[in-house]
Structure 1
């Protein structure tokens, strides 16, 4: 078993300050949403790029806008003339509000989806078949609800490392699965928390491997002040910087930074856990989702080495939703946005660019 470096060791590493790339959005703000659902509460959002293909990427449990940096840089900066990438800090994480009580329609996957659609309405992303939606884990559950609430606005839908509902998995006992989930979400020290999430989400071989030789991006980002604003066109500046020695160190540095900025709290974390636990779509509801969105528009991916959400749950989703493309990826863990960022970017680029066929 890999011996993880301590948080103190990681924060002293010369590369620590480069772990979170400073990518300036073209537009961003804090939007009050949920006025008729127990709110209003503020949701932090940002758009990177100004291209015609509108991408909405939806984060999972504890995932903030910064966690998407490799997708943000690829689509919203390197190819920002082709893509506009909308990122949102879900209720309970990042710079969005983190209220304790489960407001009416708030900390549920339908409520979190409604928040996203209010943001999309606010920025004018309302045209039919214009939204290219992607999400993993809890983000994949929210993406399912976005598609259910606005099927006519979906151009393409990509789901990964997610499920329609929690049920008994055949790979190991259900009690073992629940034990793994509890081991990740139970209150513990930051040291144990980061290490536990790493073990659940990533293959050990990836955690111990040398990081890819990525460029470090620094755009001298400005802090949000709460009002919507348009930033200047970003000018990514790859810079030669110190490198971490393992993927674990690089990933853990990002997690430590989120905690230091107050973007992860116990309150928000547990409210998001409750939302994921209560997500449940029946086979009939998935059938309706596929019919209304159009199965030729839907892609589902799941790794067979997912230690948090067993691949059997992904197989059930594939069988009941019957998407045009369903792929079980050998050796992939729970979080491809980091573990297989370049590969996932290529999959999404191909899928979102694929010529749409009539759905009816």
Structure 2
């Protein structure tokens, strides 16, 4: 994931939605009420754009921790302080810690890692762990350690991550804007009974009032 080409340019959630529609057309998911679509965070914004374009093909639509348009819900001083923090260079360790606290609660981060581990020969497409890890995959000491390892793996691979493309992604999310009328159109075309909206009250990436 993430190894496709990503030329520098202006990106938008609507453009990303068109890319996804091309993929699902290619695999043949073109019948009415055939697709169960789930979008989380920025993925939920892209999902809204898909729902506007092909509502009749959606069996269900689930929007998790996302927003129709992100608006400022904090005071001026707090907003300026936060924006300035984005511009200050930080170590990778500090960046990962700050990101984890925006995405997860402190209680969950310090809790023991309870991931269901893959098993070579049992889990489909699961290869053996690295030799230094031993014969089986192992749990981390905490959920934060697992998140940290995932982030380090991603950020150290220039094929899938760059700071420039991250800024392009953030700009696309910031420009996403769906009006109340457009949301009503989605509800009517997809069917409100097919739509689920979920949001965390302690989400610090997209705050609850923006959900």
| TM-score of the aligned structures, taking structure 2 as reference length | 0.86
Alpha-carbon distance between aligned partners in 2 of 1:295 and 1:181, rounded to the nearest angstrom: 36
Residues 163 and 187 of structure 1, relative CA distance in 2, 3 Å threshold? farther
Q: 1:132 is paired with a residue of what secondary structure? A: strand
Picking from 190, 202, 209, the partner of 1:293 is 190
Name whichever structure is richer in strand by fraction: 1
2:103 maps to 201
Quote the residue 1:253 is aligned against.
Answer: 149
Shift of 1:140: 0.5
1:99-144 Cα offsets, whole Å, 9 max, x none, are: 1122xxxx10110000000111111111111111101111000000
Report the 3-state secondary structure (helix = DSSP H, G, I; strand = E; otherwise coil) of the residue aligned with 2:165.
helix
User: 1:210 aligns to what?
Assistant: 112
**Which of these residues, 133, 156, 165, is aligned with residue 69 of structure 2?**
165
The structure showing larger relative contact order (alpha-carbon pairs under 8 Å, at least 6 residues apart) is: 2
Task: Identify, as 1 or 2, the structure richer in helix.
Answer: 2
**Do the aligned residues in 2 keep the contact of 1:194 with 1:255 (CA within 8 Å)?**
yes
| Aligned-partner Cα distance in 2 for 1:177–1:302 | 22
CA shift in 2, pair 1:144/1:186, >3 Å: farther
SS of 1:253's equivalent in the other structure is helix
Taking the aligned partners of 2:18 and 2:162, their CA distance within structure 1 comes to 22
Matched, 1:100 2:8: yes
CA RMSD of aligned residues (A): 2.6
Give the secondary structure class of the aligned counterpart of 2:198: strand
How many residues matched? 204
**Do the aligned partners of 2:119 and 2:137 also contact (CA within 8 Å) in 1?**
no
Over 3 Å counting, the alpha-carbon distance change for 1:205 and 1:240 in structure 2 is same
CA contact (8 A) 2:70 2:206 kept: no
User: What is the CA–CA distance in structure 1 between the aligned matches of 2:27 and 2:87, rounded to whole Å?
Assistant: 34
TM-score (norm 1): 0.52
| Aligned residue among 121, 124, 143 for 1:234 | 124
2:169 match? 272
Change over 3 Å in CA distance of 1:99–1:178 after alignment to 2 = farther
Q: Choose 257-266 or 143-152, whichever is displaced more.
A: 257-266
Q: What secondary structure is seen at the aligned counterpart in 2 of 1:134?
A: strand
Cα distance in structure 1, aligned partners of 2:48 and 2:181: 14
**Residue of structure 1 equivalent to 2:46:** 142
Superposed CA offset, 1:188-209 (max 9, x none): 3322221111111110111111
SS in 2 for 1:166: coil
Runs of 4+ in structure 1 deviating by more than 6 angstroms, as ranges, are: none
Spell out the pairing of 1:46-125 with structure 2 (5 A cutoff).
Answer: 65=1, 94-102=2-10, 107-125=11-29
Q: Helix, strand or coil for the counterpart of 1:303?
A: coil
Residue 278 of structure 1: CA displacement?
0.2
In structure 1, the gaps of 5 or more residues are 1-64, 66-93, 220-232, 315-360
Partners of 1:160 and 1:178 in 2: CA distance: 27
* Preserved CA contact (<8 Å) 2:13 2:176: yes
